[in-house]
Chain A
Amino acid sequence: MNGPTEAQIDNCAAEPIRIPGGIQPHGALLVVDPDTRKLLQASANAQALLGDDLASGTLVALDAETTQWISDRDAPSLLQSIAVNGNSFTVSGHHMPQGAVLEFELIDGSEARSLEQVFPKLQTFADEILPLGDPRELGAAVADQVRAITGFNRVMIYSFDPEWHGTVMAQSSDGVLPNYLDLRFPATDIPAQARALYALSPLRMIPDADYVPVPLVPVMSPVDGQPLELSYASLRSVSPVHLQYMRNMGTWASMSISIVVEGKLWGLISCHSEGPRRVPPQVRAACNFVAKIFSLQISAIERGAHAAQRIQLKRRETELVARLSRADAMAEELERNPDAWLALANASGAAIITEEEIRTAGDTPGRDSLIRLAAFLESQGKDRFETDRLSTLWPEGSAVADTASGILAVSISQLYGSYVIWFRPEVVRTVTWGGDPRKSQDAGERLTPRTSFAQWKEELHERAVPWTAAEVESADDFRNALINFVLRRAEERAEMTEELERSNKELESFSYSVSHDLRAPFRHIVGYAELLTAREDSLDDKSQHYLRSIIDAALSAGRLVDDLLNFSQLGRTNLEKTRVDMNKLVNEVRHSLEQDLVDRQIDWQVANLPPAWGDGALIRQALANLVENAVKYSRDRTPAVIQIGGESVKGHTTYWVRDNGAGFEMEYVHKLFGVFQRLHRMEDFAGTGIGLALTKRIVNRHCGTIKAEGAVNKGATFTFSLPEGGKKSDHA
């Protein structure tokens, strides 16, 4: 069961509480034109309370100081004693666009005496509470003090949570009124506009819930024809709903003082008494002073606690980041330091989710849930996301409430849904409400305050201990550190890429110079040897053999250089992919080999091949290498059987070339595709040992795969597979 929702709140919100058109009867109110000092408006009771002089609009009864204050629009608010019509009043005043507003309250003798006692008490109070570091203790001291100087039956310190539900965190009571300590009141009890007014004007008092409001005469301001704005008037009449609420609670007088911490309404000092009770303005001012001290103290305590936690968390963060910066893999290092990682946000579980991996520490939801949670976080589109009740925002969260009722997540990449997330488990709590909050307002009935204040217990499920501001800031800091870390890594990678590019360039110029400087001498050797052979017909057999060997050696060295260059160029040139007719290609390859096959008996078994997708010239070279190999290694067979087949399966076309030749030992299969790796002796089978490496490189550049199977003297099968239709990109 959840608390009342926003939709249930605020039937009262439409009420014009700032312009009620009347005041409470425990004082009189005048509105005076600051320029002419003419009376603009007066409460209907002004004449009776203050006498004819004032009511008639002449204002002669006011003393010089008050008169002076009226004329000065920029003067701060007024609070002083004044004798009018033979009685002592406290007059308070504030300037409004509609005129200077003066409020008069009678002072009787006993009040004057109690006032004298208030200030020494305040002095002692201030000294006593300064060392208190616990908000509850502090609240209790404040409640005691306020009760002592006002005489209310019960003074409660009421603090708001982020949803504006209030909890009675301290109470001072003489036992006359019920004990509400630790009870919780729904946000609907104090509607948003009332809260706004509380923040604006810190103190309001209702001495008698049964009062009859006193209208203003005239009702509308002569200045602008609007009702008088009474936001800052302490005599302002209150909403009948509020009065009904008070009577329902069994309190006939109330006073509340706002506690504003760091500009935000933090809570209220809420005073009640069973019977009517009026607190004179000076005492109210003293209460305001107490509330101020309380606000400052709370602020100091919260700042202190925050700072202490920040320092502690920062130290942990610094240690962890230092460790991360020395590590190669960030996510892995986090997983290696689970305690430090969890401690960063006082969490019981943590996970890092990146495009590549998921790593965790402590108690976290399962992998699948984490992936879906990351998707949810991505949909929120925030750099940081925190909640103590995940399931209310993400329905799937109910299933993982035991580990992830609370999450604090930071995004660590702009591009991918990468997050570091801390988790807190469900902590089932019982909250005692001052009445069932669900019944606070009935939908059909307008402005009906709730009537039951009987305690109502609610069990809160799928909630975690909320994240503190310090923990949230810690997560933010950590996020920044990680992003810097990731950025630095990216820079390092870029540097490495540069370095690679540089050495690639060097290799390129090396291969270029090889192509010129190394090929030429081989060409020359072959050329001169040939010239010599042609010139000297009479050379003996031995000399002829030597010359032949020189030519062969230089030729094979030249071929090696050519092959090497081929191989190195393959990585640099672009692929021109088209649909390749493999049947035609096999025919061409066979045709080109024909010269070598004149005295060979070969049984060709070529199936109908599916077309391939790729660079025609390169695929031709790959296939030619395999077919040449098959021809070469089957030369001892009569007949040699060479099978070529292919099929198209699941987005790939696969081709194989099989022979019944010399084969190879499977033990060495991994060496087959390496550059200069030969499995046979040079004199048995010629070749530079680059052909298969070249073939593999061609296949790989097409994002394909190649494998070989064979057995000694039983033949070999080479199979390569290429992706269809150019769906995959070309990884150079």
Chain B
Amino acid sequence: MPDLRPILLVEDNPRDLELTLAALAKCQLANDIVVARDGAEALDYLYERGTYEGRDPGNPAVVLLDLKLPKVDGLQVLETIKKDPMQKQIPVVMLTSSREESDVLSSYENGVNAFVVKPVDFNVFFEAIQDLGMFWAVLNEPPPRGQNGR
């Protein structure tokens, strides 16, 4: 029985957001999709504070994280997640327009689970998002609940 925890999508660009949501919708996933518009909001969700205070408890199934974000950027969010023993098990997929080596390198150094350069070709982009969504939200077996504290 797949775990139906939500997917946390962190994306500030409205068009990318819309296109990503369209791609995810195409996969017909049953998971909820929570959208955070910047890094700070994402952390609020993860730590159940601010507007997300009192949300349904539990870590998301996967975080789809844009690299370039206002306020707290993607790398910082990644770092925070991976440094926190309570959260480091959450799969994080970095999404970016950049193919800069330094970004890829920093992401991997910070323990990113996957790194996707958003393809220009929408069909390829669709496929990528679908694959990611399917893999992390449906196919990936998360660690037992007791072990990551929730």
Contact = CB atoms under 8 A, between A and B. Distances in A.
B121 A520 contact: no
A565 B120 CA distance: 14
Given A516-B68, A531-B22, A523 B98 contact: no
Nearest to B13: A520
Contacts of A527: 15, 19, 22, 122, 125
Given A516-B97, A520-B97, A555 B15 contact: no
B89 to A, nearest CB: 30
B15 A515 contact: no
A555 B121 contact: yes
Contacts of A558: 120-121
A512 B98 contact: yes
Interface in A494-513: 512
Contacts of A559: 120
A524 B15 contact: yes
A515 B100 contact: yes
Contacts of B97: 515-517, 519-520, 523
Contact of A515 (B19, B99, B119, B126): B99
Contacts of B16: 520, 523-524
A523 B99 contact: no
Contacts of A524: 15-16, 19
A191 B19 CA distance: 105
Contacts of A110: none
Given A516-B68, A516-B98, A523-B97, A555 B120 contact: yes
A515 B98 contact: yes
A111 interface: no
Interface string B6-39: 0000000101100100100000000000000000
B101 interface: yes
Contacts of B126: 530
A124 interface: no
Contact of A530 (B13, B68, B101, B123): B123
Contacts of B118: 519-520, 523
Contacts of A526: 120-122
Nearest to B101: A573
Contacts of B122: 523, 526-527, 529-531, 551
Contacts of A561: 120
Nearest to A569: B101
A526 B122 CA distance: 6
Interface in B94-150: 96-101, 118-123, 125-126
A562 interface: yes
A143 interface: no
Given A515-B98, A515-B99, A559-B120, A523 B22 contact: no
A523 B100 contact: no
Contacts of A555: 120-121
A133 B68 CA distance: 88
Contact of A523 (B68, B101, B119): B119
A522 B19 CA distance: 13
A517 B16 CA distance: 12
Contact of A562 (B19, B96, B120): B120
Nearest to A573: B101
Contacts of B19: 523-524, 527-528, 531
A554 interface: yes
A562 B101 CA distance: 14
A554 B123 CA distance: 13
Contacts of B123: 530
Most chain A beta-carbon contacts within 10 A, residue among B13, B121, B126 = B121
Given A524-B16, A527-B19, A531-B22, A554 B98 contact: no
B99 A565 contact: yes
A519 B120 contact: yes
Contacts of B120: 519, 522-523, 526, 554-555, 558-559, 561-562
B125 A512 contact: no
Contacts of A530: 122-123, 126
Contacts of A562: 99, 120
Contacts of B22: 527, 531
Contacts of B125: 523, 527
A559 B120 CA distance: 8
Interface in B34-48: none
A632 B101 CA distance: 31
A527 B123 CA distance: 8
A169 to B, nearest CB: 81
Most chain A beta-carbon contacts within 10 A, residue among B16, B99, B118, B126 = B99
Interface string A211-224: 00000000000000
A524 B97 CA distance: 12
A599 B61 CA distance: 44
Given A520-B16, A523-B19, A531-B122, 12 more contacts: A515-B99, A516-B98, A519-B118, A520-B118, A526-B121, A526-B122, A527-B122, A530-B126, A555-B120, A555-B121, A558-B120, A569-B99
6 cross-chain pairs, A with B, having the tightest CB-CB distances, nearest first:
A558-B120, A530-B122, A527-B122, A527-B19, A524-B15, A516-B97
28 contacts: A512-B98, A515-B97, A515-B100, A516-B68, A516-B96, A516-B97, A517-B97, A519-B118, A520-B13, A520-B15, A520-B16, A522-B120, A523-B119, A523-B120, A526-B120, A526-B121, A526-B122, A527-B15, A527-B22, A528-B15, A528-B19, A531-B19, A531-B22, A531-B122, A551-B122, A559-B120, A561-B120, A569-B99
Interface of B: 13, 15-16, 19, 22, 68, 96-101, 118-123, 125-126
